């Protein structure tokens, strides 16, 4: 898709993206024939009698760019018969009144384009148990008397909301440009990842970038955003809220936040003025932690924090691993805590850096209920050193795909807390007017077929120090907390202990 999505100051589903095939301007080889008259616009939509597979494009890049999926996985994808269904071998003619307002007429074309993409790709073939063809005509009639493009886009958003999927949505050309900038790793804003909580519909903070204005102001993961610049956020999606948070460096934005974890306190709701700054999203931060094993040996543990699955994440990860290997690292901690996701391709590319052979990385489930495994082909890991992956409730989408791939293939132990639970993949298509359509095109389950959506992934070990095996071991690790703030992190301590266990027992990894 992520969504992802999890974007920056943007929706989990944005940065959490998930995947985005670079579809052509003639979506899915469709043949269009349009006849205009003074009062109506007839469009005939006919799919090819032999639909062509779009699976090779299923998990690729954002917009019109292409993110290199590792060659082995791309080969595995190329044979998948996606959307090969008789349901698409049919012609439909729809008629609707042409708006007299030029800008609304442009959005009418966008509506037909979005409707067609959803008709062919949306994961639920019942379209939330409604007549999707009739929905197009109803929306066109509602759009006809409008006078502005904004109002017309609102009608499209209303139509998409009837699908019952918060991750399927449309964003304006301006919003899409902001989204692409964020995916490239550069933006001007306050440093918040936000997401719509599916059960409540509230906008919640998934994480804050270290040292960002939001982090310095004491905004925390789980806080609910109530207002931005005095405007209530009821009914706002995460991208619309993110757009209000972003802005030129040097300006400021006022937010009202609710601390759900401290809801009984008088200070649970507060208003904070945040300066906007230039924020560089570097997806990787790393360091080498000197480590003394229980038998007295000095070793090196490579700590790698992956904050988001951006376009550069896989390349940066490979460079980091190779550099650490040359420096004599003996084990690794991969920190995916508060990583809201991003490009699915990046997650799969990173997974292959730790695995050998023809392992399954993830299983996708299409709209017909068919399970389609995505496998490596003759993979070669960059390192075979023991690995622990840190996860928590802020780990979502591509983070969950990566954690599941490494865990279910026996490559890593998971330490931390249960993940967010986003088991859906979105595609992103740039439409003719520069807007973008996000569509949930598949569900996914882990290689061992564990469901993730609204369930999450449970760690093997909770990151509490009382999980250590003996008082002596706990004391040895606890005494290291004065060395650095990183080593004072209880999850790091537990991860180091798990690495000691793997190395002492010769556990294969």
Instruction: Kindly list the catalytic residues.
Output: 397, 422
Is residue 446 classed as helix, strand or coil in its secondary structure? coil
What tokens were used for 392? 């928590």
Which segments of 384-501 are extended strands (E)?
387-391, 413-416, 424-430, 436-445, 461-462
As to burial, measured by CB atoms within 10 angstroms (0-12 exposed, 13-18 middle, 19+ buried), residue 140 is buried
CA-nearest of 222, 192, 243 to 417 is 222
10 Å Cβ neighbour count for 322? 13
b/e code 434-459 from CB counts within 10 Å (16+ = b)? ebbbbbbbbbbbbbeebebeeebbeb
Alpha carbon distance 426, 261 (integer Å): 31
Residues 6+ apart with CB under 8 A from 164: 124, 128
Each as own residue / partner, the long-range contacts of residues 88-92 (CB below 8 Å, 24 or more positions apart, any chain) are 88/47, 88/51, 88/120, 89/47, 89/48, 89/49, 89/50, 89/51, 90/46, 90/47, 91/44, 91/45, 91/46, 91/47, 92/44, 92/45, 92/46, 92/133
């Amino acid at each position: 898709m992520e969504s992802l999505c999890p974007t920056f100051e943007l929706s989990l589903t944005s940065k959490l993206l998930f995947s985005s095939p670079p579809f052509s301007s003639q979506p899915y080889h469709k043949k269009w024939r349009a006849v205009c008259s003074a009062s109506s616009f007839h469009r005939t939509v006919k799919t090819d009698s032999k639909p062509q597979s779009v699976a090779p494009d299923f998990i690729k890049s954002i917009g019109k760019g292409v993110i290199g999926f590792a060659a082995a996985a791309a080969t595995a994808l190329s044979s998948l018969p996606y959307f090969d269904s008789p349901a698409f071998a049919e012609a439909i003619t729809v008629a609707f009144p042409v708006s007299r307002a030029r800008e609304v007429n442009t959005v009418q074309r966008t509506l037909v384009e979005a409707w067609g993409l959803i008709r062919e790709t949306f994961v639920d073939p019942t379209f939330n148990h409604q007549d999707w063809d009739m929905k197009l005509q109803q929306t066109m009639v509602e759009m006809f008397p409008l006078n502005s493009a904004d109002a017309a886009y609102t009608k499209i958003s209303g139509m998409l909301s009837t699908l019952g999927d918060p991750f399927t949505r449309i964003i304006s050309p301006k919003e899409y440009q902001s989204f692409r900038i964020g995916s490239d790793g550069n933006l001007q804003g306050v440093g918040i990842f936000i997401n719509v909580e599916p059960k409540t519909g509230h906008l919640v903070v998934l994480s804050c970038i270290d040292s960002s204005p939001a982090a310095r102001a004491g905004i925390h993961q789980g806080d609910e955003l109530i207002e931005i610049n005095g405007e209530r956020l009821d009914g706002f999606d995460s991208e619309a809220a993110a757009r209000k948070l972003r802005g030129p460096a040097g300006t400021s934005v006022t937010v009202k936040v609710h601390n759900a974890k401290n809801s009984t306190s008088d200070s649970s709701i507060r208003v904070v003025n945040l300066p906007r700054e230039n924020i560089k999203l570097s997806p990787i931060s790393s360091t080498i932690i000197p480590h003394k094993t229980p038998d007295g040996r000095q070793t090196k543990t490579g700590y790698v924090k992956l904050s988001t699955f951006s376009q550069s994440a896989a390349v940066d990860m490979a460079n980091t691993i190779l550099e650490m290997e040359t420096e004599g690292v003996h084990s690794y901690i991969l920190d995916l805590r508060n990583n809201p996701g991003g490009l699915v391709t990046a997650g799969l590319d990173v997974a292959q850096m730790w695995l050998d052979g023809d392992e399954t990385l993830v299983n996708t489930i299409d709209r017909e209920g068919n399970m389609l495994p995505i496998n490596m082909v003759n993979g070669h890991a960059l390192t075979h050193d023991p690995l622990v992956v840190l996860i928590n409730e802020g780990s979502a989408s591509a983070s969950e795909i990566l954690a599941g791939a490494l865990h279910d293939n026996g490559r890593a132990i998971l330490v931390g807390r249960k993940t967010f639970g986003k088991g859906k993949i979105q595609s992103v298509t740039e439409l003719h007017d520069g807007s973008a359509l996000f569509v949930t095109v598949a569900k996914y389950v882990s290689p061992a077929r564990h469901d993730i959506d609204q369930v999450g992934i449970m760690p093997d070990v909770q990151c509490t120090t009382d999980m250590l095996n003996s008082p002596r071991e706990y004391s040895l690790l606890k005494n290291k907390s004065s060395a650095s703030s990183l080593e004072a992190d209880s999850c790091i301590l537990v991860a180091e202990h798990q690495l000691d266990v793997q190395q002492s027992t010769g556990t294969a990894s």
